Amino acid sequence: MTTPLLQVQGLSKHFPVGGRGLLGKPRAWLEAVSEVSFNLERGQSLGLVGESGCGKSTTARTIIGLHPSTAGSVKLDGAELTGLSRKAWLPHRRRMQMIFQDPYGSLDPRQTVASILAEPLAIHGLAKPRERKLRALALLDAVGLNPRHVNRYPHEFSGGQRQRIGIARALALEPDILICDEPVSALDVSIQAQIINLLKDLQDRFELAYLFIAHDLAVVRHLCDEVCVMYLGRIVERASRTDLFEAPQHPYTRALLSAVPLADPELEAQRRRIVLEGDVPSPTNPPTGCAFHPRCADRERVPGGKCSSERPKLEPREGERVNACHLERAANEAS
Amino acid sequence: MGIVLDVRDLAVRFDTHGGSLRAVDGVSFRLKAGETLGLVGESGSGKSVTNLALLGLIPSPPGAIESGTVMFDGRDLLKLPTSELRKLRGNRISMIFQDPMTSLNPLLTVGRQLGEVLEVHQGMSRREASKRAAKGLGDVGIPAPEERLEAYPHELSGGMRQRVMIAMALLCDPEVLIADEPTTALDVTIQAQILELLADLQQRRGTAIIMITHDLGVVAGMADRVNVMYAGRVVESAPVRPLFRSPAHPYTRALLASIPRLAASTDEDLAAIPGSPPDLADLPPGCAFGPRCTRVRDECRAAAPPLVELDGDAARRAACIDSDVLHTESPSSAEGPR
């Protein structure tokens, strides 16, 4: 078997909260991400979905080294990335770039587009100053912007165009992996499709792998090959997009999918919605057992109160999929 | 059903540094008792400004109402003095905003904020008001409402805060509820709770709702009728099912074709709309959607087409010279798979 491009194994990120106690130990830990594992292959897209606070952004930021990890391993082409010094990180970072949600906040308003696009090349010492300008022009062309606008400032562009600049900047270093954190959710509806098409087109042209974080599940279905559903810092289900969207197994995935309003009044009138009770619990004080059990409509179907006492393991099920649910485990064993 | 709100030819102008612009340009609609009217559009389409204008909440300067009437209970809201409007706002016409954190006062307990509404509008005593406020919180599904009266907004989750906003908006049993992106800041499972709650309350009380949103899914599930807005104008108005089944304006049609669908896996490109929404201070001549429209012709650039009834369908209106053709052909045959 070949080595996966990106291999995440048991990754955890816990933040100290509530100040420090008498002996300098943190009073409490916020378990933002726990034991997250997945592989990402060249040219493939993996979606990370879940509600706010589920740890999807923290997972991405820990992978790319913006947060030091608490435990686990992240391998890029087999090379371990966790625990590396800043300097040792630099050559790897070139291969993994990030696109952010807010095209207004993630570009320096005082830099021209030319300088925004040349900066990563300069930091990595990749091209001579003269060549950098040419690279910038080619990048603008690749993301569908007019190369003649290379000397303009970010405020002279619309939101959609700014997101294109952010994508061009991420592409400047010819990365293998793009981490996209809600890349279209701040854009107007009529602009979103343009950016989604652009991302797909770039993926085909440059064989990019995407780690795609979004709360809009329709966008994820459109763009991703495989999807991980996260709840309170853990992956609860992972499956191919067709399996996940057509036959969701984990009760949380099912509730999440049924909660998404469909842009079709006739389908909306027919469907039966699973409305979850209550809110997502606090990650500083997660429920015992399965973190989802207080909101789960199926917990009564598992005998012996197992859902509140024992955390279900993420286990393989029939087909190429995994999930963490006592009920699914029983169903899988019975079949 | 009776008409509770009748908006005619509303126009709102803003004088900005970039020049004078018309944020709302000749908007007319009627709201019937007990119905939900969806107002769909992108940023800058005028959907929020329309509703701020109804309530006399346009800051002046830079804003000014240029024309129009808003009839409610036999009176024109645009001509009412502020003191009279205050008696209506939060009482007979209420509003819920997108962000409950900024629309609740962080220094007052939930009980005080709700109680104040009842003291002002219904002249209740503090004790009566507090009792009624607890009932209001219970009605929107907040557990242990008496205890929650003592809570400050920051102690509640986003979904709970939005429930408090809804409870506050409904305290005086309004005839009209204006909900401006009420679930946009919330997660989908919480959004489902809030939308279900609104639908349920509406059914029990017969409140008419104006639902402002950019989310076509929310509209599909909630609205009875929909007005689609673009660059300050209503470009299409129709009952919800016909609108989604056979959109009669190229913008509506393009918008529906451009969104990814949850119900199908496809590797085909989305049918993106080229360009971006226009700058209101610098609108193209004629139809504002013209520069992005696949059917644009010289006539479109000559004058903006008026919103007119479709041939043989009095319930539907659209502002496009091709509307009668568009609504009879199915969008799937013209625009590829939905």
Contact B187 A215 (CB under 8 A): yes
Q: What are phi and psi of B162, to 5 degrees?
A: -65, -35
In tens, the pLDDT along A279-316 reads 788 888 889 999 999 999 899 899 888 999 999 999 99
Burial class from Cβ neighbours inside 10 Å (0-12, 13-18, 19+) for residue A300 reads exposed
In tens, the pLDDT along A154-182 reads 999 988 899 999 999 999 999 999 999 99
Structure tokens given for A3: 């080595």
Least Cα separation, residue B260 to chain A (angstroms): 6
Least Cα separation, residue A276 to chain B (angstroms): 6
Question: Given the structure tokens 């808003």, which residue do they identify?
Answer: B70
CA distances from B84 to A137, A281, B115 (A): 60, 44, 21
CA distances from A44 to A92, A210, A242 (A): 19, 6, 15
Least Cα separation, residue B244 to chain A (angstroms): 7
For B294, the 3-state DSSP assignment is coil
Contact A241 B258 (CB under 8 A): no
Determine contact: B330 vs chain A, CB below 8 A.
no
B157 contacts in A (CB within 8 Å)? 279
Structure tokens given for B162: 């939005």
Which residue is closest to B276 within chain A, CA to CA? A191
Contact A222 B260 (CB under 8 A): yes
A193 contacts in B (CB within 8 Å)? 258-260, 270-273
**Cis previous bond, B61, omega within 30:** yes
A200 contacts in B (CB within 8 Å)? 269
Can you tell me the mean pLDDT for B289-303? 94
Structure tokens given for B304: 């903006």
**Residue A291: alpha-carbon gap to chain centroid:** 20
Confidence category of residue A39, pLDDT binned at 50, 70, 90: very high
Question: Over 70: is that where the pLDDT of B134 sits?
Answer: yes
Q: What per-residue confidence (pLDDT) applies to B333?
A: 42
Burial class from Cβ neighbours inside 10 Å (0-12, 13-18, 19+) for residue B245 reads middle
Q: Which of residues 197-236 of B touch A (CB under 8 A)?
A: 214-221
Least Cα separation, residue A264 to chain B (angstroms): 6
The answer to whether the beta carbons of residues B319 and B304 sit under 8 Å apart is: yes
A257 contacts in B (CB within 8 Å)? 262
Q: What per-residue confidence (pLDDT) applies to B331?
A: 57
Q: What per-residue confidence (pLDDT) applies to B159?
A: 82
Which residue is closest to A200 within chain B, CA to CA? B269
Kindly calculate the radius of gyration of chain A based on its CA atoms and give it in whole angstroms: 21
Contact B258 A193 (CB under 8 A): yes
d(CA B272, CA B262): 17
Question: Over 80: is that where the pLDDT of B329 sits?
Answer: no
Confidence category of residue A1, pLDDT binned at 50, 70, 90: low
For B272, the 3-state DSSP assignment is coil
Residue from A51, A163, A182, A190 to probe the interface with B (highest B Cβ count within 10 Å)? A190
For the CA atoms of B244, B249, B252, B254, the dihedral, rounded to the nearest 10 degrees, stands at 110
H-run or E-run covering A265: helix A265-270
Determine contact: B66 vs chain A, CB below 8 A.
no
Least Cα separation, residue B140 to chain A (angstroms): 13
- Terminal C-alpha separation, chain B: 35
Contact B157 A279 (CB under 8 A): yes
In tens, the pLDDT along A58-105 reads 999 999 999 999 999 999 999 999 989 888 988 898 999 999 888 778
Angle, CA A234 vertex, CA A232 and CA A239 arms, to 5°: 125
Strand duo B75-76 + A234-240: pairing = unpaired
A52 contacts in B (CB within 8 Å)? 187
In tens, the pLDDT along B155-209 reads 888 888 888 999 999 999 899 999 999 888 788 888 888 899 899 889 988 999 9
Determine contact: B314 vs chain A, CB below 8 A.
no
Confidence category of residue A151, pLDDT binned at 50, 70, 90: very high
d(CA B226, CA B220): 9
Question: Over 80: is that where the pLDDT of A22 sits?
Answer: no
Residue from A104, A146, A155, A188 to probe the interface with B (highest B Cβ count within 10 Å)? A188
Least Cα separation, residue B79 to chain A (angstroms): 34
Q: What per-residue confidence (pLDDT) applies to A304?
A: 87
What percentage of chain A has pLDDT greater than the value 90?
Answer: 69
Q: What is the rounded average pLDDT for all residues in chain A?
A: 91
Question: Which ranges of chain B would DSSP assign to H, the alpha helix?
Answer: 47-54, 82-88, 100-103, 110-122, 126-139, 145-148, 158-170, 188-205, 216-222, 240-245, 250-258, 298-302, 323-326, 331-335
Confidence category of residue B334, pLDDT binned at 50, 70, 90: very low
In tens, the pLDDT along B73-129 reads 999 999 999 999 999 998 999 999 887 777 889 999 999 999 999 999 999 999 999
Q: What per-residue confidence (pLDDT) applies to B336?
A: 39
For residue B245, what is the DSSP state? H
Q: What is the pTM of this model?
A: 0.90
Q: What per-residue confidence (pLDDT) applies to A15?
A: 92
Q: What are phi and psi of A237, to 5 degrees?
A: -155, 140
